[in-house]
């Protein structure tokens, strides 16, 4: 979503020109990097918008998908052979075969990564953290209403 509303990044614009979703491309690249080089990390994809996004991420370590998408999968009318023939798009084998450019293999530190990601890194991180703070405040408000229990 961020990439569609902000232009100027050549990699994002190239992905859009090819008809690819820049977010799905980023997840694929990150998955391949983590699994090709044996990092002890797992990748979680979020902000899945529809079934097609979900199918494009088959094989990612974790996915956060809205209940409505999971329900639509359950309610899909699909022949059994088609239902069980989906191809895993992300796998340790596909990661091992992925070729990264020398530029993509740059050793990153926090500053150089933020600089390379451009405004997306600061804007998305700030928005995400603000969302978590708001959620935590809401939970605290709810707990204030029920704690301590009246009979303690």
State whether 17 and 68 are in the same domain.
yes
State whether 88 and 15 are in the same domain.
yes
State whether 20 and 88 are in the same domain.
yes
pLDDT for position 83: 61
CA dihedral sign, ordered 69, 73, 74, 76? positive
| 64-73, 96-105, 141-150: least confidently modelled range | 141-150
Q: Is the peptide bond before 149 cis (omega within 30 degrees of 0)?
A: no
Q: Into how many domains does the chain fold?
A: 2
| pLDDT surpasses 80 at 37 | yes
Q: Comparing C-alpha atoms, which of 116, 88, 104, 138 is closest to residue 34?
A: 104
State whether 92 and 124 are in the same domain.
no
Two structure tokens written together for 18 = 């090819």
* Helices then strands, each counted (H, E), the chain: 9, 2
pLDDT for position 92: 93
Structural domain that includes position 147:
107-151
State whether 8 and 83 are in the same domain.
yes
Number of residues in the chain: 152
State whether 7 and 82 are in the same domain.
yes
């Amino acid at each position: 979503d961020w990439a569609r509303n902000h232009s100027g990044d050549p990699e994002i614009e190239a992905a859009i020109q090819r008809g690819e979703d820049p977010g799905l491309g980023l997840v694929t690249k990150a998955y391949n990097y983590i699994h090709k080089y044996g990092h002890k990390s797992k990748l979680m994809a979020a902000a899945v918008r529809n079934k097609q996004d979900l199918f494009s991420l088959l094989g990612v370590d974790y996915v956060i998908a809205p209940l409505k998408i999971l329900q639509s999968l359950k309610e899909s009318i699909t022949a059994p052979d088609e239902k069980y023939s989906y191809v895993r798009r992300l796998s340790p084998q596909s990661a091992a075969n992925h070729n990264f450019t020398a530029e993509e293999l740059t050793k990153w530190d926090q500053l150089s990564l933020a600089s390379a990601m451009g405004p997306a890194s600061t804007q998305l991180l700030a928005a995400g953290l603000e969302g978590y703070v708001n959620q935590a405040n809401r939970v605290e408000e709810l707990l204030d209403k029920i704690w301590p229990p009246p009979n303690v």
